[in-house]
Amino acid sequence: MKRKIFTALLVLCMLLMLSPLTVIAGMLPPWINSISVDPPRCAAGAEVKLSVWNAEPEGTDWSNEQYQIKDPGTTNASVTLEGMFYATSPGTATVKVTVFDIGRGDNFVQYVEITVYEPINITTQSLPNGQVGVPYVANLEATGSPKYWDWDSTELPPGLDLVDKRETATIEGTPTKSGTYNIYVEASNNVADAGAYFSIEIAPAAPDPISTSTSPTGTDATETDPTGTNPTETDSTKTDPTGTNPTGINPAGTDPTGTNPTGTDPTETDLTDTDPGDSSEVLMIQQPSIWTKGSNESASFTSNADFKDFLYVKVDREIVDESNYDVKEGSTIVTFKASYLETLSAGEHAVEIVSASGSGHGTISAFGTIEIKAQAVQQTEQVTQASDALPVTGESNGYYPWPVLTLLSAGGLLFVLRKKRLSQQRK
């Protein structure tokens, strides 16, 4: 009988010792069914580091990333086991990505495509010089299909602006100030970029061709009057029988023709008065008000500009990489990924959707804001501590019973052993 009790207690102890493993097994992460690799695109001739940044469903976990080229296509691409990717030609390469799925306890494999763009090269060698008051136009060209152009310098010549036309660009306007200006022009497609330095010399305005006043009758006031009358002896206030002042000069300073030949300065018309980047007709018609860290949700902004004119997106005046958002039609809907929103600090951030002007001159922008809220970590910890301290009636977290039972079993063993020892001593 004692042996049976002892055996039963041992079996009970073994079951209690195995129970935490059962609890732990129920806490393993779910199995992976897809992964996301960044970056999905790069420029030919540029080495990039591939990495797995997300796995689905939510809560999955992985380790030990490994990369292999499955099909280089036309890119001549290669990749190291750690993910250093390099391609020499445009095209699409297929990469085999292997990760260890912790939930499954085995490897998970997925094939991803990496798009390789042609490097950008600005082919324009120099820019023409200009002159104050004379309309100026200079073309900028590049290979590699740049998506947007920009310039950076102390200043473009006053009166000139760079107009982005995607494949090409122009510097145009009417110079208003002479001088020599050095500028740096950049073309980019969010994957590759190229820059070039240029110098533009703006000459002073040409002198006014009408430098002296001319009598409307074509007679110089200093010439001898053909009638033999000294024009200086005629009182300008008297009435000339012919109705004309013999001096040829209107004493009131008014041109008899009603038009001052020098009154209109041909350089006074500023061709830059119309701002090609005027965004008065472009609005942000939809935007989220608040986004909370840890929500794992995306955030969408909608501009009423045409989708075909979309160029790029700025947050806090910085251009956002295309891999951090998706854009689709209707009018122009930009959806930021949760992984990018997590990188923004708490507080308000300015959002700008930039599109090409429908007239083909300049850019137009829709402006909005998004407020990033920090995750309520402290409140979550308090709730967790409270739930740990006071379990709900009828529920068990799986940890309270087995320590108690272990102590009872140990006490039972000690009792049996002591009783057996006493009986032996009595014998």
Most confident among 150-164, 217-231, 258-272, 385-399 (mean pLDDT): 150-164
Phi-psi region of 196 (alpha: psi -120 to 50; beta: other; left: phi over 0): beta
**Token duo for residue 141:** 């060209």
Q: Report the C-alpha gap between 351 and 370 in whole angstroms.
A: 7
Q: Report the C-alpha gap between 172 and 134 in whole angstroms.
A: 11
Q: Report the C-alpha gap between 64 and 97 in whole angstroms.
A: 10
Task: Name, in order, each residue with C-beta under 8 angstroms of 222's C-beta and a sequence gap of 6 or more.
Answer: none
Q: Residue 301: how many CA atoms within 13 Å on its side-chain side? A: 28
**pLDDT tens track for 330-353:** 789 999 999 999 999 989 999 999
Burial of 34 (0-12, 13-18, 19+ CB in 10 A): exposed
Confidence of residue 229 (pLDDT cuts 50, 70, 90): very low
Q: Report the C-alpha gap between 256 and 243 in whole angstroms.
A: 12
Helix 2-25 crosses helix 401-426 at what angle (to 10 degrees)?
160
**Token duo for residue 173:** 């306007």
Domains of the chain, CATH where assigned? 34-117 (2.60.40.1080), 121-203 (2.60.40.10), 284-373 (2.60.40.10)
**pLDDT tens track for 186-218:** 888 777 788 899 999 999 998 876 654 444 444
What is the percent of the chain with per-residue pLDDT over 90, rounded to a whole number?
Answer: 37
Backbone phi and psi for residue 184, each to the nearest 5 degrees, phi listed first:
-120, 120
Residue 232 pLDDT more than 70? Answer: no
pLDDT, averaged across the chain = 76
In this prediction the pTM is 0.41
> Between 84 and 228, where is the model more confident?
84
Confidence of residue 390 (pLDDT cuts 50, 70, 90): very low
Pairing mode, if any, of strands 91-101 and 148-152? Answer: unpaired
**Token duo for residue 26:** 């129920």
How far the first Cα of the chain sits from its last, in Å, is 19
Q: Report the C-alpha gap between 352 and 417 in whole angstroms.
A: 80
Label each residue of the chain as H, E or C: CHHHHHHHHHHHHHHHHHHHHHHHHCCCCCCCCEEEEECCEEECCCCEECEEEEEECCCCCEEEEEEEEEECCCCCCEECCCCEEECCCCEEEEEEEEEEECCCCEEEEEEEEEEEECCCEECCCCCCCEECCCCEEEEEEEECCCCEEEEECCCCCCCEEEEEECCEEEEEECCCCCEEEEEEEEEECCCCEEEEEEEEEEECCCCCCCCCCCCCCCCCCCCCCCCCCCHHHCCCCCCCCCCCCCCCCCCCCCCCCCCCCCCCCCCCCCCCCCCCCCCCCCCEEECCCEEECCCCCCEEEEECCCHHHEEEEEECCEECCHHHEEEEECCEEEEECHHHHCCCCCEEEEEEEEEECCCCCCEEEEEEEEEEECCCHHHHHHHHHHHHHCCCCCCCCCCCHHHHHHHHHHHHHHHHHHHHHHHHHHC
Q: What is the pLDDT, as a whole number, of residue 80?
A: 96
**pLDDT tens track for 138-190:** 999 988 877 788 876 557 899 999 888 877 889 999 999 999 999 999 888 77
Backbone phi and psi for residue 196, each to the nearest 5 degrees, phi listed first:
-150, 145
Q: Report the C-alpha gap between 123 and 196 in whole angstroms.
A: 9
Confidence of residue 100 (pLDDT cuts 50, 70, 90): very high
**In this structure, are residues 34 and 110 in contact, taking their beta carbons and an 8 Å threshold?**
yes
**Token duo for residue 47:** 């080495």
